A and B are shown apart, each in its own frame.
Chain A
Amino acid sequence: AQKVTQAQTEISVVEKEDVTLDCVYETRDTTYYLFWYKQPPSGELVFLIRRNSFDEQNEISGRYSWNFQKSTSSFNFTITASQVVDSAVYFCALSGAGANSKLTFGKGITLSVRP
């Protein structure tokens, strides 16, 4: 069975601080995919990134970076120089390989960025 754990439930930071959102996963699959989604106060779910299990390169996109470590089964998300617009709920998710694999979501982390 697959499982995604986001141990942090709520994080509050002051604008311009760096913040890391943790994600730990469990799977028996050798090939799998990891995702992060953002849910701003407006409610929609926004896809941020997909990572393949066979590619452990870290990825940076502007102020966002992701650290994937298979050795610790973690896929952490860092926001550098946080902004008020980063305030949202962030979900980590896991999918097996194959066309009909299902997404398993973590419970989400509520990030509040104060001005």
Chain B
Amino acid sequence: IAGITQAPTSQILAAGRRMTLRCTQDMRHNAMYWYRQDLGLGLRLIHYSNTAGTTGKGEVPDGYSVSRANTDDFPLTLASAVPSQTSVYFCASSDGNRYNEQFFGPGTRLTVL
């Protein structure tokens, strides 16, 4: 059982380019999340999805979009990357029970030049 996989592991991207970070889980969890981690700021929620077919905005959604076509996949797209989007991105999932215990992927390190 892989849990949550993210791809790519790392990426260097020119500003203005479009980029999709992939996230797949095999735990059949209802809820999925995207966070960015920046030094001194902890983890901040970008977007989330409580169930397939629905998405919602987190704390820092600007410049990002997501889709949730099925239970397993939750891609994050940067339509036109900017240097301030340089960060480590974590995908997480939860089975949606009342505890909201989240399981995290290994992360994607993205550098926008």
Chain A interface (Cβ < 8 Å from any Cβ of B): 9, 33, 35, 37, 43-45, 47, 50, 91, 95-103, 105-108
Contact = CB atoms under 8 A, between A and B. Distances in A.
Nearest to B54: A100
Nearest to A46: B104
B42 A91 contact: yes
A53 to B, nearest CB: 11
A107 B42 contact: yes
B58 A50 contact: no
A91 B43 contact: yes
B42 to A, nearest CB: 4
A95 B107 contact: no
23 contacts: A9-B40, A33-B99, A33-B101, A43-B88, A43-B107, A44-B104, A45-B90, A45-B92, A45-B107, A95-B99, A95-B100, A97-B98, A99-B31, A99-B100, A100-B96, A101-B98, A101-B100, A103-B33, A103-B102, A105-B43, A106-B42, A107-B41, A108-B42
Interface of B: 30-31, 33, 40-45, 48, 50, 58, 88, 90, 92, 96-104, 106-107
Contacts of A103: 33, 45, 100, 102
Contacts of A100: 31, 50, 96
Of B43, B97, B100, B106, chain A has the most CB atoms within 10 Å of the CB of B100
B54 to A, nearest CB: 10
B106 A44 contact: yes
Nearest to B42: A107
A102 B44 CA distance: 11
Contact of A47 (B31, B96, B103): B103
B40 A107 contact: yes
A96 B100 CA distance: 8
B48 to A, nearest CB: 7
Contacts of A47: 101-103
Given A33-B100, A95-B99, A102 B58 contact: yes
Which of B43, B48, B88, B103 is most buried by chain A, counting CB atoms within 10 A of its CB? B43
